[in-house]
Amino acid sequence: MKDKLIPDPPLEESTPLADAMREEELARNREAIKRALDFYLVPDSRKPGKPSLMFMVCPNIDTESLLAHACESLASANVMSSNFANELGGEQRSTALAIQQIVMLAQLAVNRALDRVDPRT
């Protein structure tokens, strides 16, 4: 079989005008990509963030009550993740047990903070 003289697809011959247009299009694309990323990823410092009112903690609740509630929530998450891990096997079980351990460590930290707020003598 004989080699082709014309490459498949044929080589594009570039002109200075085509190169300039391509560079201009690439620059516009880069600018559009940067604007899109900045819009979604860079917070606007001029606009103060408004907290969602859907799940709002009463602003004047005391620290002890907050810690007690966090401790109870973490205890529940600890039990749920333990029960869930018992239903799994292999790597999934290991992952669920790792999550349980993280929850348990958070619970211990909250318990320690609660002890400092209201030391039980």
Which one-letter amino acid corresponds to residue 92?
Answer: Q
pLDDT for residue 47: 67
Let me know: does 71 contact 110? Beta carbons within 8 Å.
yes
* Cβ atoms within 10 Å of 74's Cβ, excluding its own: 20
- The pLDDT tens digits for 45-102 are 666 667 677 777 788 888 889 899 999 999 999 999 999 999 999 999 999 999 999 9
Is the whole model's pTM more than 0.85, yes or no? no
Q: How confident is the model at residue 117 (pLDDT cuts 50, 70, 90)?
A: confident
Who's near 96: CB < 8 A, 6+ residues apart? Answer: 81, 84, 85, 88
- Report the Cα–Cα distance between both ends of the chain, in Å, rounded: 95
Rounded-to-integer distance, Cα 96 and Cα 82, Å: 7
Confidence label for 9 from pLDDT (cuts 50, 70 and 90): low
Evaluate whether 43 touches 37 at the Cβ level (below 8 Å).
no
